[in-house]
Amino acid sequence: MNIYVLLKKTFDTEEKINISDGQIEDDGAEYIINPYDEYAVEEAITQRDTHGGEVTVVTIGDGESEKQLRTALAMGADKAVLINTEDDLEEGDQYTTVKILKAFFEERDVDLILAGNVAIDEASGQVGPRLADSLGISYVTTITSLNIDGDNVHIEKDVEGDVEVLETSLPVLVTCQQGLNEPRYPSLPGIMKAKKKPLEELEMDDLDLDEDDVEAKTKTVDVFLPPEKEAGRMLEGEVENQVEELVSLLKKEDKVL
């Protein structure tokens, strides 16, 4: 089975966000594999171990993205592809990303593509469904269970807390949600092996694309932090009094009850 994982690097979830000149400061920030993409990597490896085949991890990024790809290889993926747009692309959006991925996938045989439900930075959640539509294959988002039997695919999907059970067929693209699996940590032998696994680097030229072909349809014109919260008020006294005071404040002052 030809299994592909779409991977994005994101800021570590511990990172505080600072802004200068209307942009997010990324100097010295720690990057990780987008947490939802970790579920995708884990699921890809599990499916390969059950059905055979090969897991290829694909990212669009810069030279630094190699680190996250190596982590995925250390987890157990077989191959990695970095589409390096550092020199070719100033700004892009989901339209851009999908144009590039479409060009990448057009020449390939695909059975299963896995991606994260959203990336925790821009959180658009658009890339998976857009790509599936571009490739003319089915997709199911926010999956929490995946069983493949021949060409039939049984999926459980999280729909705002409810579980939808559905069936579709290969090839399919899925986006992964919490509860799907427990991503493994790369083992030491895994890390050693990952160094020797193939990591292919492509540029937009290699995909017969230039900047105009992928020009974004949206633009970020400003980035800002939410207003700082003023220090709150600690209630004091007997529990009964605190509770009464709280309810009264919420009702009369904040008018939220």
Near another protein in 152-181, by CB under 8 A = 158-169, 178-179
Residue whose CB is less far from another protein, 47 or 142: 142
CB burial of 148-172 (b: ≥16 within 10 Å; e: otherwise) equals: beeeebebbbbeeeeeeeeebebbb
Q: Per rule CB under 8 A, is residue 129 in the interface with another protein? A: yes
Cβ 254 to another protein shortest distance, Å: 5
49-78 positions binding another protein, by CB under 8 A: none
Token code pair at residue 133: 């539509």
Could you tell me which residues come within 8 angstroms of residue 27 by beta carbon, excluding any fewer than 6 positions away? none
Token code pair at residue 222: 């400003």
Cβ 74 to another protein shortest distance, Å: 21
Which of 67, 108, 195, 251 touches another protein by CB under 8 A? 251
Q: Per rule CB under 8 A, is residue 27 in the interface with another protein? A: no
Residue whose CB is less far from another protein, 198 or 237: 237
Cβ 223 to another protein shortest distance, Å: 5
Q: Kind of pairing, strands 112-116 and 19-20?
A: unpaired
Neighbour-count burial of 35, counting CB atoms closer than 10 A to its CB (0-12 exposed, 13-18 middle, 19+ buried): middle
Could you tell me which residues come within 8 angstroms of residue 135 by beta carbon, excluding any fewer than 6 positions away? 102, 105, 106, 110, 171, 173
Distances (CA, A) of 117 to 136, 161, 174, 178: 19, 15, 8, 9
Report the amino acid identity of residue 167.
E
Residue whose CB is less far from another protein, 192 or 257: 257
Q: Per rule CB under 8 A, is residue 120 in the interface with another protein? A: yes
Cβ 28 to another protein shortest distance, Å: 16
Q: Per rule CB under 8 A, is residue 216 in the interface with another protein? A: yes
Cβ 150 to another protein shortest distance, Å: 15
Q: Per rule CB under 8 A, is residue 195 in the interface with another protein? A: no
88-107 positions binding another protein, by CB under 8 A: 93-95, 98
